[in-house]
Structure 1
Amino acid sequence: MPLLGGCDRQSGAATQQAESVSPANSSPNSAEAAPASGFDRTHRGTPIPDLTVSGLDGKPVALASLKGKPLLVNLWATWCAPCVAELPTLDKLAGDKAASLRVVEISQDSGEDGSAATKVKAFWERKNLTHLSTLIDPKGEASTKYAATTLPTTVYYDAQGREVWRLVGGHDWSSAETAKLLAETAG
């Protein structure tokens, strides 16, 4: 289950695209500077945060309203290379598991003036992503609620809206390991 690396929110978009394509830089100090990545189960049982973002149509969506079946929430951005790299496998997962799993993307692209929504809509159309639900969070509130400093960050919830695990960094969502991970429950 290879991790593709991650983007930190403190660096600029151009730096992210150039540096985050490989899993890790090979310099001796990169381990100290790189954000932690991998699976984290320390938040197991935590409820979905009180967070309202918007759809591409501008209508508000309360994250807690998405309970009812397992939910995979992915924080991403158009400028984040590992985020973009994993989108096709997330899209396929969303299509293959539509009856039993909801997959939601929350864009962390900034622009409260509507520019984030415009940017994400154009990106979505170019990539031809048809199964994912994408939401817009131009203020970055989701990153704050999840204490996410690295993108992508993905959080898996059971049908009752309790966190099961989270993954920091990119992932191949078409892998055999993914099926095992999605079989986990918080209870």
Structure 2
Amino acid sequence: MSRSPLIFAVSFLLLAGCDRAAEAPAQPAQSAEGSAGVGEVARTFAGTPLPAMQFADADGNSLDLAAQDGPVLINLWATWCGPCVVEMPQLDALAGELDGEVRVITVSQDVRGAEVVTPFFAQRDFARLEPWLDPDAQLSAQFTPEGLLPLTVLFDAQGKEVLRVAGGYEWDSPDAIAMIRQSLAPQ
């Protein structure tokens, strides 16, 4: 067997194993009451515009990122990502706390899309999160070519990046809420 087909076969097997069911997370999840807070806040990409991309949910509803008319917090996540799963209820609580100030948008990077995201949402009682899908990982490629999840990016009302957090974060904490509000306050 020549080297090229072997490399292709190994690459295919590695990629096929990247998307796991929620029952078998690829990254260890913290305890149910544990924190996802290990991510670091970075402002390296501040000023970068919100990408003009569209996503859909399992029902065919569409989300146009470029059409957002206020501050938005975008979270890239996947059902197989332990810290992502821990963050989801926190993001739902954050969306409630910042209702009318910041729209919280979660976009799944699961390759199997609605097949795994729909049951994930059905098992939980999210009051504000919507199951947006990006099975081609377009958004991940835009923000984190290395594929690090979770990744959360805050954009201001003009559609310019303010900050991002790579890795888990305790989004419903008073510190996180204050950081978001302070980051969006007029200077």
2:178 is the counterpart of 1:180: yes
**For residue 25 of structure 2, what is the aligned residue in structure 1?**
17
TM-score where L is the length of structure 1: 0.77
Q: Of the candidates 148, 151, 155, which is equivalent to residue 149 of structure 2? A: 151
1:107 equivalenced with 2:108 (yes/no): yes
Cα distance change, pair 37–98 in 1 and its aligned pair in 2 (3 A): closer
1:131 aligned partner, one-letter code: R
Whole-angstrom distance in 2 between the partners of 1:81 and 1:18: 7
- Please give the residue correspondences for 1:15-94 in structure 2 after superposition, counting only pairs within 5 Å: 17=25, 19-21=27-29, 37-66=39-68, 68-94=69-95
Is the CA contact 1:75–1:154 (under 8 Å) kept in the aligned structure 2?
Answer: yes
Quick check: 1:51–1:63 contact (8 Å CA) kept in 2?
Answer: yes
Aligned residue in 2 for 1:6: none
Does residue 96 (structure 1) correspond to residue 94 (structure 2)? The answer is no
Please report the RMSD computed on the Cα atoms of aligned residues, expressed in angstroms.
2.5
Aligned length: 161
- 5 Å-filtered alignment, 1:132-171, equals 132-148=129-145, 149-171=147-169
Map Cα deviations across residues 95-149 of structure 1 (whole Å, 9 max, x no partner): 22211110000000113xxxx1132121101011121133100111010111252
Aligned position for 2:4: none
Q: Distance in 2 between matches of 1:38 and 1:80?
A: 17
User: Which structure is larger by alpha-carbon Rg, 1 or 2?
Assistant: 2
Q: Which runs of 4+ in 1 moved over 6 A?
A: none
- The alpha carbon displacement at 1:21 in A equals 3.0
Secondary structure of residue in 2 paired with 1:17? coil
The alignment's TM-score, normalised by the length of structure 2, stands at 0.77
Letter in 2 for 1:133: E
Indicate the SS of the match to 2:100: coil
Q: Is the 8 A contact 1:13 1:80 kept in 2?
A: no
Deviation, 1:13, is 4.8
Between 100-109 and 117-126, report the one with greater CA deviation: 117-126
Aligned to 1:131: 128
Alignment CA distance shift 1:147-1:128 (3 Å): same
Structure 1 residue 172: deviation in Å? 0.9
Q: What is the CA–CA distance in structure 1 between the aligned matches of 2:66 and 2:94, rounded to whole Å?
A: 22
Q: CA deviation at 1:19?
A: 4.1
Q: Which has the higher contact order (CA 8 A, sep 6+)?
A: 1
Identical counterparts, % of pairs = 36
